[in-house]
Amino acid sequence: MSDTHLEAARALVAGVLELPVEAIPLDGSVDTIPAWDSVTHVQILLAIEAETGRLLDSERIATMRSISDVALALAGKTSAK
């Protein structure tokens, strides 16, 4: 995954959470970013769908927990392989 996708993911999550991008670590996740709760999680998913023009499948929705996962979704990939 490229740094560009990670930075785009940070920016998207920061925008939804109304935080500065610098407050979102590249290795951030629902476990380490206090503002990333169930409500903002849904908002992040909707923002990804709006950005990519694609609906996320239920497996992707269920497993998305980190900035890395958001970056993969933005890149249209299913895993970091």
CATH superfamily ID and name for 3-75: ACP-like (1.10.1200.10)
pLDDT of residue 3: 86
Work out the average pLDDT over 73-79.
77
Instruction: Sketch the domain layout of the chain as residue ranges.
Output: 3-75
CB 16 within 8 A of CB 47: yes
pLDDT confidence bin for 52, thresholds 50/70/90:
very high
The answer, yes or no, to whether residue 80 has pLDDT greater than 90, is no
If you compute the radius of gyration of the chain from its CA atoms, what whole number of angstroms results?
11
Question: CA-CA distances (angstroms) from residue 27 to 17, 33, 39, 55, 58?
Answer: 16, 10, 21, 24, 23
CB 77 within 8 A of CB 16: no
pLDDT of residue 19: 98
pLDDT in tens, 17-46: 999 999 999 999 999 999 999 999 999 999
Classified as helix, coil or strand, 53 is: coil
Q: What is the pTM of this model?
A: 0.90
